[in-house]
A and B are shown apart, each in its own frame.
Chain A
Amino acid sequence: MYYEEPGARESLGLRTPKHEDLFHSHPEYKVERDDAKCIRCLCCVRQCPYETTFYDPMRNVVYDVHSNCVNCKRCEVMCPTQAIEIKKWGCGFRENHHWKFRDYGAAYKQSDTGAVVLTGLGNDNPYMSYFDRMVLDASQVTNPSIDPLREPMELRTYIGRKMENLEDFGKESFQEYPNILAEVPIAFAPMSFGAISLNFQKGMAAAAQELGTFFNTGEGGLHEDLLPYKDNAIVQVASGRFGVSKRYLMNSAACEIKIGQGAKPGIGGHLPGEKVTAEISKTRMIPEGSDAISPAPQHDIYSIEDLRLLIYAIKEATEYTRPVSVKIAAVHNVAAIASGIVRAGADIIVVDGFRGGTGAAPKIIRDHVGIPLEVALAAVDERLRREKIRHMASIIATGGIRSSADVVKAIALGADVVYIGTAAMLSAGCTLCQQCHRGKCAWGITTNRPDLLARLPVEMAKERAINLVKGWSREVKEMLGLMGLNSIESLRGNRLKLRGVGLTKLELETLGIRQAGV
C-alpha cells in the first residue's frame, strides 16, 4: 500500500532546524512507539491533528516530530496494540526552581514572534487550593445520618430573585419574580459555539434537558439546532453582542450579561476569522471568515448605572419573564461589586474564580489575574447577607469545580448552584492538553473542523455528560445524608459544615469557617 502524506517527504532524512526553531523546538513530550507492537495501521498518523506523527512508506517507518506533541493522548488511546506511550522529553534544562518551562518556553516563543502567548483551559499554576483545605462534617450519635438510597434527598433549587416576604400572597397586587428550576445544583458553564464544537454544545444541551438543569450558550449565539433545548438555555449577552436579538433573548430560560471571565478578567475575546465557518457566521450574525472580536469592556457599560440600563433593557425585551444574570470574574473587590450588581437589578450573580477555563486567553493573564473562587464566593455571600439583599439574587459559583466535593463545599460557602465547564469537557474526553485555542482539538470538543468534529458524536457527549452529573448528584446526596441533611437548601450557606485544615486565622475568617477540631 502506498501512502502519500503531505509534508512527509521533506521531513525525511536529517531534520535541519530553521534558525527560529533552534530555541522553541525543544520538545516537551516524546512519543515512544514500541516497534515490535506497531502493526503499521497508521491510526496514530490519522488521529494526530498536531502534525506530530508521520509515515514513511519507503522505509515503512512511523516517525514523530516530537516537538509538536501536546500530550493530548489521542494516539495513545486509539492505538489498537497499545504500542504508544507519551513520555516527558529528556531531563529538561538544568534543575531550576525559579525558571520553569512555562517561563523560558514562553520567552523563546516570544523572542521568535514578538507576540502574546496564548493558551486554553484554566490556570494550571500551583496556587493553593482552598477547596483542598476544607473538610466536611458528618453526623455521629446526636443526629442520625440519612441514607439517600432509602430516604428522600432533595437537590431542587430555584434560581432567581426571591420574595422578601409573602404577606401579599393571594392578593391581586402580588407580583412574583421569574425563577428557573434546577433539579440538580449543577449547570453547564458558558462555552460558546466557536470556542467549542456544535456537537459538544448539543450534547450538553440535551443533557441539561434530561437532567432538568441548564446549559449556557456563552457569547456565541444560539444555533438553530439548539432551539429544541431553549427552555434549558441560559443565553449570554457579552461585549461582542454576537447573535443577540429579541428572538435570541426569548429562546431561553434566563439571560446572562457577561462582564468578565475568571480565566481572563478584564479582557475580551477573539475568535480568529479562519474559525468562523458558515454555521458560526450564521449563529453569531457576522460575515464568514471575519474575526469575531469581543471588546474588553462592554462599550455601553462604563459604570454600574450603565449596567442597570442593560439589565433593564433585557428585562423589558423579555417582558420581565426571564431572570437576568450578571457574570463577573472574581477580583479583589468582588463583594462590593456584587452588591452593586444586585442593587442594579440582577437576579443571578455568577462568580467565576481564577481557575476558570477559557477557549483562548493570553497565558500571562490566565495565570496571574483574579482571585480564588472560594474566597470570592465566601465574601460575596457574606456581604449580600449583611446588606440584607441575599434574597434578591441567586449566586452561581464557577471556575475550577473539579468534583462533587467541590460542589458541596461551594454550596456550603453560599452558592445556590455551580457551573461546570472543564469537568463537562472531561466527560467528553478532554485530556487537559490546553490547546483549546488552536481549534484542532483531537477529541472534537474545541474545534469545528468536520473531520475532528466527527470524533464526538452528539449522543456520546450527551450520555457522558448526563452520567457525570448524575454521578456527582449521587455523591452530593450521600454527603448531604451523612451530614444529617435531606435538602440542599439546608446546606446552602451552612458554613458550620466546613472546617479548615492548615489555614491561617485570617484565611479562616475570610472563608467564614472554623478551624478543624473546634
Chain B
Amino acid sequence: MSISKENSLFPDPRVRSPYNERDSAACGLIGFINKDRQRVSGEVIRKAITNQHDRGNGLGGGFAGYGIYPQFKDLYALHLMYDKDNAISEVEDILRKNLSVVHQEIIPHKATKAIHSHPFFKRYFVDVPLAAHGDRHTPDDYMVKIVLGINEKIDGAFVISSGKNMGAFKGVGFPEEIADFFGLEQYEGYIWTAHNRFPTNTPGWWGGAHPFSILDWSIVHNGEISSYGINFRFIDTHGYPCTMMTDTEVVTYIMDFLVRKHKLSFVDACSVMAPPFWKDIDAMPEEKRHKFRLLRATYGSASLNGPFAFLFGFNGGLIALNDRVKLRPLVVGRKGKTVYIASEEASIREICPGLDSIHAPHAGQPTIEYLDEEKK
C-alpha cells in the first residue's frame, strides 16, 4: 500500500480509521514524576488510572514509563506493534540495514479474559552507527526519519515508542486491562503517564491509543484540537507527514519541531501552543511583549485551539499544559519530591492520600517539572 503524497488531505486507506475521519477523543489522564529518580512499579500508575475508569469507553488505554530500561539506557528502545506477519521481516530488514540492533525480544504480553485478539509486540534496542547519520543529521533526526518511514510505508507495522530508557504500552481496552495484558508491574520507572480513552469516532486500532511517542517524547492527551486543519498542514510542510489523522500525533510533532528543531525552550514552546491573549501580551513590559508578539506572529499556525489538557513526558521531566481557556480539567498535586498531574484529583489521592498541596493550574499556564540531575 502506498501513501498518496499528492494531497495530504486525501490520504490513502493507510489512515487507520476506516471512516477516513480525524480522531478526536475525550479522555482521562494521569502522570507523575519522582524528581529524585526513585523508580516505582507500573502497578502504581495502573491503580491511579483505574480510578478514572468511567472517563473511558474501553476503546483505548495506554502507559508510558521512563527509566524502565536501565540496562540499555543509552540505546533507543523501539517498541514495535505488528498486525501483519510479513511486516516483521520488512521492519527488521530496515532496522538491520540502517541501525545496529543490540538486543531484540518479544514484549511480554498475554491474552486475558478482556483482551483476546491483539497484535504482536516486539522491542528492539538499537544504536545509530555514526556512519549512518553522518554529519548531516543528528542521531535523533536519523531515528525520526526511520520511525516515520516505518509508520508511513510499512503496512501492518507501527512504532509505538522509540526513545532511550523509556517505553510506551498501549492498546484497545480499558487501561487496567492493557496494564494486565503487558504485565506493567514488571517495569519500574521514575516518570509514568497513563491514559484512558473515550474515542468518538475511531474504532479499535491499537496504534490509535495514547500515548503517542516519538524519540523520548510521549504524550497523553484529553481533548480535541479544533485548529487541527492548519496544525497538520503546518507540521507537514516541516517534514512531519501526519499518517494517523489524530490530534495527538500533531501535538507530538509540533513539540518535537519547536523544541528540538527550532530550539525553543519548553516554556516558549508551551506559549506557542497555548498562546497568551493579545490583551495580556499588550500589557506585558516591552521586552517580554516583543518576544511574545514574535512567538505568536511566527508560530500562529502551530498554536493549538480547542479544548485540551495534555501530559508530555520526556527523558528529563514531565510537562502539563491546558488550552488557553481551560476547557479540560487538570490538577497538580505535590508530595515531597513527587509531582502528580491528573484529570481528576481523586485519582491522585488514590495513590497518594497525604498530599502536601494540590492546585488547578491556570489556563494556558504550563507545569514543567524536571528530574534532578543524575548522581554520577
- B303 neighbours in A (Cβ, 8 Å): 487, 489-490
Q: Which residue of B9, B277, B295, B298 contacts A512 across the interface (Cβ within 8 Å)? A: B9
Chain A binding surface, main DSSP class: loop
Known contacts A154-B278, A386-B237: does B230 contact A490 (CB below 8 Å)? yes
Q: Using an 8 Å CB-CB cutoff, how does the interface string of A46-63 with B read, 1 for contact, 0 for none?
A: 000000000000000000
Neighbouring B residues of A514 by C-beta, 8 Å: 9-10
A509–B6 CA distance with the chains assembled, in angstroms: 10
Does A486 contact B325, Cβ atoms closer than 8 Å? Answer: yes
Sorted from nearest, which 8 A-B pairs have the closest CB atoms?
A: A496-B229, A489-B300, A490-B227, A494-B229, A490-B305, A484-B226, A143-B224, A494-B230
Beta-carbon contact of B301 and A489 below 8 Å: yes
Contact (A154, B277) CB under 8 Å given A388-B237, A494-B230, A495-B229: yes
CB of B305 within 8 A of CB of A484, answer: yes
Interchain CB contact under 8 A, B306 and A484: yes
Task: Say yes or no: B295 contacts A166, CB within 8 Å.
Answer: yes
Q: Are A142 and B325 in contact (CB under 8 A)?
A: no
A176 beta carbon closer than 8 Å to chain B: yes
**Which residue from A141, A158, A485, A512 sits with its C-beta under 8 Å from B227?**
A485
Check if B224 sits within 8 Å of A165, measured CB to CB: no
Q: Which residue of B lies closest to A176 (CB)?
A: B294
- Roughly how many angstroms separate A483 CA and B225 CA in the complex, as a whole number? 11
A492 at the interface (CB under 8 A from B): yes
Residues of B within 8 A of A391 (CB): 298
Shortest C-beta distance, A146 to chain B (Å), equals 7
Which residues of A have CB within 8 Å of B300?
487, 489-490, 492
B335 CB-CB contact with A under 8 Å: no
CB contacts between A and B, total, < 8 Å: 115
Asked whether, in the complex, the Cβ of B291 is within 8 Å of the Cβ of A169, the reply is yes
Known: A143-B24, A163-B298, A390-B237. A485 touches B305 (CB 8 A): yes
| A281 located at the interface, meaning its Cβ lies under 8 Å from any Cβ of chain B in the complex | no
B22 near A: Cβ within 8 Å? yes
Cα separation A152 to B279 with both chains bound (whole Å): 9
Does A474 interact with chain B (Cβ within 8 Å)? no
Q: Indicate if the CB atoms of A496 and B228 lie closer than 8 Å.
A: yes
- Residues of B near A167 (CB, < 8 A) are 262-263
9 contacts between A and B (CB under 8 A): A142-B24, A165-B262, A483-B226, A485-B226, A486-B325, A490-B300, A491-B227, A496-B229, A514-B9
Say yes or no: is B144 at the interface (Cβ < 8 Å to chain A): no
Q: Which residues of B contact A (CB under 8 A)?
A: 7, 9-10, 20-22, 24-26, 200, 223-224, 226-230, 233-234, 237-238, 262-264, 268, 275, 277-279, 291, 293-298, 300-301, 303-307, 324-325, 327
Tell me which of A144, A496, A497 has the highest count of chain B C-beta atoms within 10 A of its own C-beta: A496
**Chain A proximity of B144: nearest CB distance (Å):** 18
Are the CB atoms of A144 and B298 closer together than 8 Å?
no
Q: Which residue of A lies closest to B199 (CB)?
A: A142
Known: A151-B325, A165-B298. A496 touches B22 (CB 8 A): yes
State A139–B26 Cα separation when bound (angstroms): 14
Given contacts A163-B298, A493-B301, 15 further A-B contacts (CB under 8 A): A143-B306, A152-B279, A158-B293, A166-B262, A483-B226, A484-B305, A484-B307, A485-B226, A486-B325, A487-B300, A489-B301, A490-B303, A494-B230, A495-B9, A496-B228
Query: A142–B238 Cα gap in the complex (Å)?
Result: 29
Residue among A163, A166, A495 with max Cβ neighbours from chain B (10 Å): A166
Measured CB to CB, the closest approach of chain B to A443, in angstroms, equals: 37
Enumerate chain B residues within 8 angstroms of A449, measured Cβ to Cβ.
Answer: none
Chain B positions within 8 Å of A491 at CB level: 227, 230
Closest A residue to B22 using CB positions: A496
| Residue numbers in A under 8 Å from B238 (CB-CB) | 388
A483 contacts across to B, CB distance below 8 A? 226
Check A325 for interface membership: any CB of B closer than 8 A. Answer: no
Bound: A509/B7 CA distance, A: 8
Q: Is the CB of B233 within 8 A of A493?
A: yes
How far does the alpha carbon of A143 sit from the alpha carbon of B228 in the complex, in Å? 12
A223 in contact (CB, < 8 A): no
The B-contacting residues of A in range 135-153, CB under 8 angstroms, are 139, 141-144, 146, 151-152
B297 touches A158 (CB 8 A): yes
Query: Cα distance A484–B294 when bound, in Å?
Result: 24
- Does A440 reach chain B (CB closer than 8 Å)? no
Contacts of B228 in A (CB 8 A): 494, 496
- Give chain B residues whose Cβ lies under 8 Å from the Cβ of A179: 297
- In whole angstroms, what is the CA distance A486 to B304 when docked? 10
> Which of chain B's residues have a CB closer than 8 A to the CB of A513?
9
Cβ of A156 under 8 Å from chain B: yes
Tell me the smallest distance from the CB of A170 to a CB of chain B, in Å.
Answer: 8
Question: A415 → chain B, closest Cβ, in Å?
Answer: 12
CB-CB under 8 A from B224, the residues of chain A are 142-143, 484
Interface residues of A in 476-510 (CB under 8 A from B): 483-487, 489-497, 509
Please state if B301 and A143 are interface contacts (CB–CB under 8 Å): no
Residues B26 and A162 in contact, CB atoms below 8 Å apart = no
Partner of B298, one of A139, A151, A166, A497: A166
Question: Is A88 in contact with chain B by the CB < 8 A criterion?
Answer: no
Most buried by A among B21, B224, B228, B300: B300
Is A490 in contact with B298, judged by CB distance below 8 angstroms?
Answer: no
Least CB distance, A361 to chain B, in whole angstroms: 35
Instruction: Give Cα A165 to B259, complex, Å.
Output: 11
Complex CA–CA separation, A89 to B227 (angstroms) = 52
Known contacts A146-B325, A386-B237, A388-B237; is-contact A139 B278 (Cβ 8 Å): no
Residue of B nearest to A170 (CB): B291
With both beta carbons as reference points, the residue of chain A lying nearest to B237 in the complex is identified as A385
- With both beta carbons as reference points, the residue of chain A lying nearest to B279 in the complex is identified as A152
Q: Which residues of B contact A162 (CB under 8 A)?
A: 297-298
Q: How far is the CB of B337 from chain A (nearest CB, A)?
A: 33
- Residues of chain B lying within 8 A (CB to CB) of residue A485: 226-227, 305-306
Nearest CB on A from B212, distance (A): 18
Which residues of chain A come closer than 8 Å to B277, judged between CB atoms? 152, 154
A509–B327 alpha-carbon span in the complex (Å): 34
Point out the residues of chain B lying under 8 angstroms from A493, CB to CB.
Answer: 229-230, 233-234, 301
CB distance from A225 to the nearest CB of B (A): 31
Residues of chain A within 8 A (CB-CB) of B223 are 143
Which single residue of chain B is at the shortest CB-CB distance from A505?
B10
CB-contact partner of B226 in A139, A163, A388, A492, under 8 A = A139
CB contacts (< 8 Å) of A163 on chain B: these are 294, 297-298
Report whether A509 and B10 are in contact in the complex, using a CB–CB cutoff of 8 Å: yes
Residues of chain A contacted by B325 (CB below 8 angstroms): 146, 151-152, 486
Pair A497/B233 contact, Cβ less than 8 Å: no
